[in-house]
Amino acid sequence: MKRLSLLLLPAALLAAGCMGDDDGPPPIVTSCEVEIQDPTNPPSVQPLRRGQNYRITFETTHGSFTVELDPARAPCNGDSMADLARRGFFDNTRFHRIVPGFIIQGGDPTATGNGGSGYTTIDAPPPNTEYTKGVVAMAKSQFEPPGTGGSQFFIVTAQNAQLPPDYAVVGKIVEGMDVIEKIGRLGNRQTEAPTERIVIRSTTVSE
């Protein structure tokens, strides 16, 4: 696998070019380390403007919910998730893992638990990170470094999932928690498989 650092510049800077001293404080530059699994299809993540509140609305077969991104906690994974949503990556994907009273998981185009975006990036979470109800975080394997994320994400339905601080927190649910709870009941606790087909129809990114 090829690993490289991508320098993500705020969109305002990309559009305006270099700024003078009279244009306010310099923009924040985020350097994200990206590991590419498919070198024939490298990522072209478009960065979010710092200081803005970004939301992603997911329209599903069982209702809609909205995630508010938290770029302070996971700038690289947040940029990536928003970019994937803009490009329609999540459209027609399924929630492939549902553990009642714990989490729901989606973002895998293969619906097998093994698929992804073709690249990963890392936002190592602080030691005091908690995964409480409504938290949205990136899923990863036990062999990957803390904070690794691709396209698979999970949403916590437990009051506190009691997970170790290994998963990058990209945001929280701000609308449609009732939909999340409804989906969260549609799983087999033993197999973690959905009992119904739950499909993400579309995603919309807004400020």
DSSP 89: T
Residue burial 22-42, b: 16+ Cβ < 10 Å; e: rest: eeeeebeebebebbbeeeeee
**What is the SS3 string spanning 102-148?**
CEEEECECCCCCCCCCCEEEECCCCCCCCCECCEEEECCCCCCCCCE
- Whether residue 165 contacts residue 129, with contact meaning beta carbons closer than 8 Å, is answered with yes
pLDDT (0 to 100) of residue 39: 63
State the average pLDDT for the chain.
84
pLDDT (0 to 100) of residue 63: 98
Question: pTM score, two decimals?
Answer: 0.83
Whether 190 has a pLDDT exceeding 90, the answer reads: yes
Whether 9 has a pLDDT exceeding 50, the answer reads: no
Cα(14)–Cα(27) distance, integer angstroms: 11
What confidence category does residue 47 fall into, taking pLDDT thresholds of 50, 70 and 90? Answer: low
What confidence category does residue 49 fall into, taking pLDDT thresholds of 50, 70 and 90? Answer: low
pLDDT (0 to 100) of residue 52: 74
Angle, alpha carbons 201-186-84 (nearest 5°): 30
